[in-house]
Amino acid sequence: MQNLDFYDLKPKLSDFRQEVLVGLSKPQKSIPPKFFYDKQGSEIFEQICELEEYYPTRTELAIFKQHCEEIAALMGENCLIVEYGSGSSEKIRIFLDVLKNPSAYMPIDISKEHMLRASEEVARAYPKLDVLSVCGDYTQKLILPVYEKKPVKTKVIFFPGNTIGNLDYADAVELFSQAATLVGSGGGMLIGIDMKKDPQILHAAYNDAKGVTAAFNLNLLVRMNRDLSANFDLSSFSHYAFYSPKSSRIEMHLVSLKNQVVSVAKQEFEFSKGESIHTENSYKFNLEEFQKVAEEGGFNLVKVWSDDNQFFSICYLSVA
């Protein structure tokens, strides 16, 4: 396809091995959530987005649809959109349909095959748009492809789905700082954040009745068995997710159901019964807290849109 280019920044398997070995050696065993997303993990995540209990995706989509014209006006003409964690690239289409002559779309995702397929679909559906698809890790320093084919008036980062909520405060500030440098003065960010709410609603969203979120969490063990020659017995670990009001976050864990020793990349790790691997945080925000972290990273809050229940918010930020 003439309007599609692919850049592989090669997030390495050795990073996976290294981060897993370091994470499993900590007193509280942990593995960063970015490693959920192999091909299988990305597919399971799409199933999560369809679940009755998982309100974020449909709520965010409804806000986008309701306000897309106003948001597109803020993004302006001839913009270059860089999407962090683009996944299926479904949400950006709402804006591609209403933006005035967008110049290029640059999806960045760690899950290569999934992202490639999604990028091809976008390039096919929007033949006048240049799609520069990047396989990379947005938590690392990224050297992105230079785009000069068409004029670019504004660079805007699109970061939906409360993926920012996976990062602790300092890492979130670091991401905003790097993003602010990337888009430069006058550049923007359109970001979706999940708001604090009744913990029962949050609890249900991460403990769905069909067990899809549990399968997503357990797939990390499948991935380690395959890619790191590990020997996790899936029936000896249980998905456990809960909301901590003190930390304002959902924590996801894999809990060992017995005393056991597991081998990963030729190293042995002991698990006592009830011990967990901490696999994900998903922070929930109020507007003031979110504004503080974004401002510390160099972005000003321009406008906010929410649903009637205030479950989810979309923020447009700009670099002063």
Ligand X SMILES: C[S@@+](CC[C@H](N)C(=O)[O-])C[C@H]1O[C@@H](n2cnc3c(N)ncnc32)[C@H](O)[C@@H]1O
95 contacts 122 by C-beta, under 8 angstroms: no
* 91 belongs to the binding site for ligand X (CB under 6 A): yes
CA distance 207 to 54: 9
Token pair for residue 110?
A: 């760690």
* 85 belongs to the binding site for ligand X (CB under 6 A): yes
Contacting ligand X within 42-71 (CB under 6 A): 42, 45, 49, 57
Residue selected from 138, 176, 206, 243 as contacting ligand X according to rule CB under 6 A = 138
Which residues on neighbouring strands pair with residue 191, listed in sequence order?
159, 315
- What 3 state SS string does 93-146 have? HHHHCCCCCCCEEEEEECCHHHHHHHHHHHHHHCCCCEEEEEECCCCCCCCCCC
Q: How many positions of this chain bind ligand X (CB under 6 A)? A: 20
Contacting ligand X within 24-43 (CB under 6 A): 34, 37, 42
Residue selected from 107, 160, 188, 297 as contacting ligand X according to rule CB under 6 A = 160
Residue selected from 154, 163, 217, 281 as contacting ligand X according to rule CB under 6 A = 163
> Closest distance between ligand X and the C-beta of residue 28, in Å?
21
* 165 belongs to the binding site for ligand X (CB under 6 A): no
> Smaller CB distance to ligand X: residue 86 or 256?
86
CA distance 61 to 66: 9
* 313 belongs to the binding site for ligand X (CB under 6 A): no
CA distance 178 to 189: 12
First to last CA, the chain: 37
* 87 belongs to the binding site for ligand X (CB under 6 A): yes
> Closest distance between ligand X and the C-beta of residue 74, in Å?
19
183 Rama class: left (phi>0) / alpha (psi -120 to 50) / beta: alpha
Token pair for residue 224?
A: 């380690």
* 102 belongs to the binding site for ligand X (CB under 6 A): no
Beta strand pairing call for 267-271 and 260-264: antiparallel
> Smaller CB distance to ligand X: residue 107 or 271?
107
> Smaller CB distance to ligand X: residue 162 or 276?
162
Q: Of 251, 258, 208, whose CA–CA distance to 237 is shortest?
A: 258
Residue selected from 30, 103, 111, 217 as contacting ligand X according to rule CB under 6 A = 111
Beta strand pairing call for 130-135 and 154-159: unpaired
> Smaller CB distance to ligand X: residue 91 or 155?
91
> Closest distance between ligand X and the C-beta of residue 229, in Å?
23
* 187 belongs to the binding site for ligand X (CB under 6 A): no
* 137 belongs to the binding site for ligand X (CB under 6 A): yes
Residue selected from 40, 47, 78, 139 as contacting ligand X according to rule CB under 6 A = 139
Contacts of residues 17-21 at CB distance under 8 Å and 24 or more positions apart, as own/partner, are: 17/227, 17/228, 17/265, 20/224, 20/228, 20/264, 20/265, 21/264, 21/265, 21/267
Residue selected from 24, 55, 102, 109 as contacting ligand X according to rule CB under 6 A = 109
The residues binding ligand X (CB under 6 A) are 34, 37, 42, 45, 49, 57, 85-87, 91, 108-111, 137-139, 160-161, 163
